[in-house]
Structure 1
Amino acid sequence: MSSARLDVAVPEQAELGEGPTWDPATGRLIWVDILSARVHTYDPASGRRTVRATEQHVGAAKPRAGGGLVVNLRDGIGLYDRDGAFDWLVHDPRPGRRGNDAAVAPDGALWAGSMSYDGSATGGSLVRVAPDGAVTPVLPVVACSNGTGWSPDRRLMYYVDTPTRRIDVFDFDGEHAVNRRPFATVEEGAGLPDGLTVDADGAVWVALWDGSAVRRYTPDGSLDRIVELPVRRPTACAFGGADLRDLYVTSARSGLAAPHPMSGALLVLPGAGHGMPGTPFAG
């Protein structure tokens, strides 16, 4: 176990907060409320916040290299330009399915996950979306595609299909992920692995849905830190701030009969570690 200072960065009551992402170009943290179809930003230096309503449920929002956002929506991948104008990059509606977590790879491609609304064990997938919109299936059949991240040397990719209770690891060659194998397993009763981030030491931090905690696993898969949280459903984590040392954690109220007052808030653990600079979407 580990004690750590915990602050509320944004006292939002998000239904399903997700996908915190630091945007160094603007000095802001980007995160989403999936079920409320909103993209939030937060500037820790000034405290300024923005909220943008999206066309439909939004699983993830990431910065684009030229400004604006790429978003993983219910019916595909959308683009917002600097001025807020929207266009589809990939339009692929499938009844009963929505976009979920996503991450930008070191080469600027978007790795976008999905899941079914009814929680079907075969309702989701993981795909690679190139900057020009070309889609390559990576994992055609998963249950609930969640956290994805890369090692500091870019040779490994980590991935969570939440119901498996595992963080898996792949060999990564810059474009392809192969040789999937277990990296760490979350034991019964400790919650389910959700969103993750990889720090500058190559350790993997993962939020535990229904586990009231964030865990850190060393590069060899050993558990070396558990940070307990007051919220039952933390969903994802990412390092942010000018020096990438503050760990931001999104959380959810959805499905809770008596949520904690902080449930749905954007939380922050100041000085929790040291993150790596992210890559904006190249499209």
Structure 2
Amino acid sequence: MSWTAVTPHRATLGEGPFWDAPGQALYWVDIAGKQALRLQGDNVQIWQMPEHVSAFIPCASGDALVTLSSGVYRLDLDSAGLDPRLTLLCIADPQPGNRPNEARCDALGQLWLGTMQNNIGEQGEDLPIERRSGGLFRIAGDGRVTPLLNGLGIPNTLLWSSDGTTLYFGDSLDATIYQYSVAADGFLSPPEVWRGPHPLGGPDGSAMDADGFVWNARWDGSCLLRLAPDGQVDRVIELPVSRPTSCVFGGADLRTLFITSAASPANHPLDGALLSIRVDVPGVLCTRFAG
């Protein structure tokens, strides 16, 4: 496979790729570097955040959401990269010492946000995880917050079945992706194991293709696993980075797979790069936040 580093930028902890089809733009973040990034054509824009940022998602209203340590904010995309204009939308998780991690919008444009104990120091250094204090929250377009789960370790992967009745949601502390039934009122059934531990790294972020298969980034595994709808491994896609963190389908035909990655002790030349490759199956569209 021929992998391409899309930009010269190298992240400390690249994450959260989002493909915006209306704008033909890719959004992603460097959590530890406190950066929100957008790629349009060959142009990369970077907004330097005041806090760690885990997701950067465009809104139906024309601005974007950024999930920061202190809350979920709107970012004025016309503001300068070194002076971003931020407006607080909500505080989803009031638990002191927590930070946001995984975030994605469902088909209705509601933001689902997973949080965890903060494990990143002010200089980007790793901090130990000592408690399962994270949660999962749903945020409506008007900023109303609905708590859904608690007691989480490291939330990663947020995907839904095509009919919206099944949620795939992982906890990296368990090395497991779980399956939940989504009730008509939006609340979740007790979890069932969908994909348990695998020797090739731990589960991080994922994307879903048009056939309902999940492409899961494997932290410390230097690969993606393409997982069948029953959770079985369909394919292993080897990567030239040590710590892939997430992926998303993009491009005009949704057949370009973008992969974010993190720096690692291995110091591979492409660690922290945003990678891309052409694939043989299109992905599922990302949904903007409804607010």
Same fold, judged at TM 0.5 (above): yes
For residue 47 of structure 2, the aligned residue among 19, 44, 52 is 52
Is residue 2:70 matched to residue 1:69? no
Alpha-carbon spacing, 1:101–1:107, altered in 2? closer, same or farther (3 Å): same
Alpha-carbon spacing, 1:150–1:280, altered in 2? closer, same or farther (3 Å): same
Q: Aligned AA for 1:263?
A: D
Shift of 1:173: 4.0
Q: What residue is the counterpart of 2:11 in the other structure?
A: 14
For residue 191 of structure 1, the aligned residue among 187, 201, 222 is 201
Q: What residue is the counterpart of 1:200 in the other structure?
A: 210
Consecutive unaligned residues of structure 1, counting only runs of 5 or more, are: none
Q: What residue is the counterpart of 1:5 in the other structure?
A: 2
Shift of 1:190: 1.6
Is residue 2:284 matched to residue 1:276? yes
Deviations 1:190-223 (A, max 9, x none): 2110001111111111100011001111112121
For residue 191 of structure 2, the aligned residue among 180, 197, 208 is 180
Deviations 1:261-280 (A, max 9, x none): 10000001212531111211
For residue 159 of structure 2, the aligned residue among 143, 149, 164 is 149
Q: Aligned AA for 1:88?
A: L
Describe the SS at the equivalent of 1:163: helix
Consecutive unaligned residues of structure 2, counting only runs of 5 or more, are: 80-84, 120-127
Q: What residue is the counterpart of 1:97 in the other structure?
A: 98
Alpha-carbon spacing, 1:88–1:167, altered in 2? closer, same or farther (3 Å): same
Deviations 1:94-129 (A, max 9, x none): 442211110101111100111112323413211111
Q: Aligned AA for 1:217?
A: L
Q: Aligned AA for 1:71?
A: V
Range that drifts further, 83-92 or 66-75: 83-92
Deviations 1:134-158 (A, max 9, x none): 1111111100111101112222111
Q: Is contact 2:133-2:150 (8 Å) kept?
A: no
Deviations 1:11-59 (A, max 9, x none): 321000001100112111100000111011112xx31111111231001
Shift of 1:258: 3.5
Is residue 2:177 matched to residue 1:167? yes
Q: Is contact 1:159-1:168 (8 Å) kept?
A: yes
Describe the SS at the equivalent of 2:173: helix
Describe the SS at the equivalent of 1:10: coil
Q: Aligned AA for 2:69?
A: R
Shift of 1:182: 0.9
Q: Aligned AA for 1:101?
A: E
Shift of 1:93: 5.4
Root-mean-square deviation (CA, aligned residues, Å) is: 1.6
Question: Sequence identity, in percent?
Answer: 39
Q: Aligned AA for 1:180?
A: P
For residues 213 and 257 of structure 1, the distance between their equivalents in structure 2, rounded to whole angstroms, comes to 17
Is residue 2:258 matched to residue 1:248? yes
For residues 222 and 265 of structure 2, the distance between their equivalents in structure 1, rounded to whole angstroms, comes to 16
Normalising by structure 1, what TM-score?
0.92
Deviations 1:49-100 (A, max 9, x none): 1111123100111110111111111111111234343111113554422111
Q: What residue is the counterpart of 1:32 in the other structure?
A: 29
Q: What residue is the counterpart of 1:267 in the other structure?
A: 275
For residues 229 and 271 of structure 1, the distance between their equivalents in structure 2, rounded to whole angstroms, comes to 14
Q: Is contact 2:242-2:266 (8 Å) kept?
A: no
Normalising by structure 2, what TM-score?
0.90
Q: Aligned AA for 1:38?
A: Q
Is residue 2:81 matched to residue 1:81? no
Q: Aligned AA for 1:31?
A: W
For residue 129 of structure 2, the aligned residue among 92, 108, 119 is 119
For residues 106 and 272 of structure 2, the distance between their equivalents in structure 1, rounded to whole angstroms, comes to 27
